[in-house]
């Protein structure tokens, strides 16, 4: 999850591959046909849009937001298209995202509904996501017990 200037937070579900591929979403876009990875369901909001999370992206002058020092989020169609064309091997593509209203994520964290983990590029872009949730929960519970 990433805080946004308006007080909301946005994030993506990482372990929900769909059966859709970019080629099915954009049959006329030749570079989309070369991306074999599935689209991921990033969350329930804006499921009509495709987002790209990409590693080591130089977002100068485009519509992207830095998520970490290595990861960027592209949200406009033209920027996502460029990433499909030039950087797809370093990206994961999502339909939809999760949006928390101002204060909502803080409330959920205070209630103990989430574990917090610093984003790792390798984890965010991991190809095989089966078992990811259980793995991360177990890791977080072990860390919590150590505190």
C-alpha torsion sign, points 10, 16, 22, 25? negative
Asked whether 10 and 2 are in contact (CB, 8 A), the reply is yes
Q: Where are the alpha helices (DSSP H) in the chain?
A: 22-25, 77-86, 104-110, 121-124, 132-146
* pLDDT tens string 59-117: 767 888 888 999 999 999 999 999 999 999 999 999 999 999 999 999 999 998 988 88
Residues 19-64: tens digit of each pLDDT? 999 999 999 999 999 999 999 999 999 999 999 999 998 876 788 8
Task: Give the residue carrying structure tokens 């994961």.
Answer: 92
pTM score: 0.88
């Amino acid at each position: 999850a990433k805080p946004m200037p308006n007080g909301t937070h946005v994030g993506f579900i990482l372990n929900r591959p769909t059966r859709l591929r970019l080629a099915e979403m954009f049959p006329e876009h030749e570079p989309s046909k070369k991306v074999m990875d599935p689209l991921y369901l990033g969350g329930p909001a804006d499921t009509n849009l495709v987002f790209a999370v990409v590693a080591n992206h130089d977002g100068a002058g485009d519509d992207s937001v830095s998520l970490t020092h290595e990861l960027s989020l592209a949200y406009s169609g033209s920027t996502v298209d460029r990433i499909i064309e030039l950087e797809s091997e370093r990206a994961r593509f999502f339909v939809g995202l999760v949006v928390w209203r101002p204060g909502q994520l803080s409330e959920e964290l205070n209630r103990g509904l989430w574990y917090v983990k610093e984003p790792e590029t390798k984890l965010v872009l991991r190809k095989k996501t089966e078992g990811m949730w259980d793995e991360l929960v177990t890791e977080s519970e072990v860390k919590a017990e150590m505190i």
